[in-house]
């Protein structure tokens, strides 16, 4: 069953607004952050209006309501990714913090000088810099799975790297630039066969397709609410309970302790061991509402709709003289179209499109090494979600022809 996109769009208040130029907002930047349906906004508003209190510490009505909302959201998120237990769902600020939690807690407890971590050439800076820091601090070694010219991972080189017995393989499930869906299950299976732990950056995948962390057999899986119709300021680290139980706390303070004495402390049980201080309670409530919304729409339907729009967009963009697209064909990627327009800087492209209300991203998209790989400094990026239409793609294409006209 296909999506009724016109009805879906009514759920997102921002899509009804106009820009200062009187143009209707055409939002093609969901890879950076998605828009929020009214029910997410209302859920957070309702929490503040009716149940605002700190969690886990009070026995009064408001505290118990707030705790139930916060923990209820965790349970629904766990079900959404098919975690074995909600104890395996750790709230963080975002995907970046989730990856850093693994780097600071698991990695510093388990990696020493000379140990190998395998990454890929298509990683977001969030899955590069924490390992650079650890390399400088501990002397670990980093190697990278190459990206082919058509935007896929070179798995034969990966298999060769695995002969060096890495301790960790950390990779993105979907590239935020190329849109490439990497074969996560195969990468994980091969890593485990070589004795390695795996960490998956799911920031771009969880919003767009049905993710089953148990079927993937991922050891760690990181994602953010704000890219999946939820609020900013909250994300999740999924981890297998045996790994999380063995890891030292990431931050110290309130709520992550079972007992504190002047000269010692005992850490709390999962998941609270990794959630120090007053958390983002309203954001957790909004995260739960976002998961409910996506579940009601249906992840399979969302994925099918995005594929249809992306395939159409790639075909239309290829019609434009001077456009160069990056990444694989539509059947191997999510809703992303990164491109350059010959002789015109991506920032100029984005600014001119904005005059017609068309929002695209321009820059290196926190993936400078990947852009260097393709010999460019920046790209323009249009990205699509459940609320985008083929008509918006046509308006993008018309806008790019205007850009070409302005630059002669």
pLDDT for 358-372, tens place per residue? 999 999 999 999 999
CATH architecture type of domain 5-30+299-406: Alpha-Beta Complex (3.90)
CA dist 289 and 210 (Å) reads 17
Q: How many CB atoms lie within 10 A of CB 407?
A: 15
- Predicted pLDDT of residue 31: 98
pLDDT at 22: 86
Please provide the average confidence, as pLDDT, over all residues in the chain.
Answer: 97
Kindly provide the residue ranges of all beta strands, DSSP E only, lying in 124-263, ordered along the sequence: 141-145, 168-172, 197-201, 220-224, 235-239, 257-261
The pairing of beta strand 220-224 with beta strand 235-239:
antiparallel
Q: Residue-wise over 357-393: b if at least 16 C-beta within 10 A, else e?
A: bbbbbbbbbbbebbbeebeeebbbbbbbbbbbbeebb
Instruction: Supply the pTM of this predicted model.
Output: 0.97
Q: Which of the residues are catalytic?
A: 366
Span 17-63, pLDDT tens digits: 988 788 899 999 999 999 999 999 999 999 999 999 999 988 999 99
H runs (alpha helix) in 11-154: 38-46, 61-80, 95-101, 108-110, 129-138
Per-residue confidence at 172, pLDDT binned at 50, 70, 90?
Answer: very high
Task: Convert the pLDDT of each residue in 283-301 to its tens digit.
Answer: 999 999 999 999 999 999 9
Asked whether the predicted pLDDT for residue 1 surpasses 80, the reply is: no
- The segment(s) of the chain belonging to CATH 3.40.640.10 are 41-296
**Residue range(s) occupied by CATH 3.90.1150.10 in the chain:** 5-30+299-406
Q: For residue 317, count other CB atoms closer than 10 A to its CB.
A: 19
Q: How many residues does the chain have?
A: 408
Average pLDDT for 384-392: 98
For strands 264-267 and 358-359, give the pairing: unpaired
pLDDT in tens, 191-217: 999 999 999 999 999 999 999 999 999
CATH C-level class of 41-296: alpha beta
């Amino acid at each position: 069953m296909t999506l009724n996109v016109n009805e879906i769009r009514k759920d997102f208040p921002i899509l009804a607004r106009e820009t200062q130029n009187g143009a209707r907002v055409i939002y093609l930047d969901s890879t950076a952050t998605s828009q929020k349906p009214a029910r997410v906004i209302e859920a957070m508003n309702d929490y503040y209006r009716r149940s605002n209190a700190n969690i886990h510490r009070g026995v009064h009505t408001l505290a118990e309501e707030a705790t139930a909302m916060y923990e209820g959201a965790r349970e629904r998120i766990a079900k959404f990714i098919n975690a074995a237990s909600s104890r395996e769902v750790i709230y963080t600020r975002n995907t970046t913090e989730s990856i850093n939690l693994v780097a600071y807690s698991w990695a510093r407890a388990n990696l020493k000088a000379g140990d190998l971590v395998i990454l890929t050439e298509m990683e977001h800076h969030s899955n590069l810099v924490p390992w650079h820091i650890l390399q400088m601090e501990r002397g670990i070694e980093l190697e990278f799975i190459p990206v082919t010219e058509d935007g896929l991972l070179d798995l034969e080189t990966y298999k060769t790297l695995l002969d060096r017995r890495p301790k960790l393989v950390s990779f993105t499930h979907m590239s935020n630039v190329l849109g490439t869906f990497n074969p996560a299950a195969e990468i994980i299976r091969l890593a485990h066969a070589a004795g390695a732990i795996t960490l998956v950056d799911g920031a771009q995948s969880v919003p767009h397709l049905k993710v089953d962390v148990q079927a993937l057999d991922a050891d760690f899986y990181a994602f953010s609410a704000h890219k999946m119709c939820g609020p900013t300021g909250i994300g999740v680290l999924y981890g297998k309970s045996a790994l999380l139980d063995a890891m030292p706390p990431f931050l110290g303070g309130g709520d992550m302790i079972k007992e504190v004495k002047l000269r010692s402390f005992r850490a709390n049980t999962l998941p609270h061991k990794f959630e120090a201080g007053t958390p983002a309670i309203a954001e957790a409530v909004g995260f739960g509402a976002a998961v409910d919304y996506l579940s009601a729409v249906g992840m399979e339907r969302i994925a099918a709709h995005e594929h249809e729009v992306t395939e159409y967009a790639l075909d239309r963009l290829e019609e434009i003289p001077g456009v160069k697209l990056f990444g694989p064909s539509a059947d191997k990627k999510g809703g992303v179209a990164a491109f350059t327009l010959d002789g015109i800087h991506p920032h100029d492209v984005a600014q001119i499109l904005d005059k017609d209300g068309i929002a695209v991203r321009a820059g290196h998209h926190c993936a400078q090494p990947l852009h260097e790989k393709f010999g460019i400094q920046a790209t323009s990026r249009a990205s699509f979600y459940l609320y985008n239409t083929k008509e918006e793609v046509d308006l993008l294409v018309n806008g790019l022809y205007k850009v070409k006209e302005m630059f002669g």
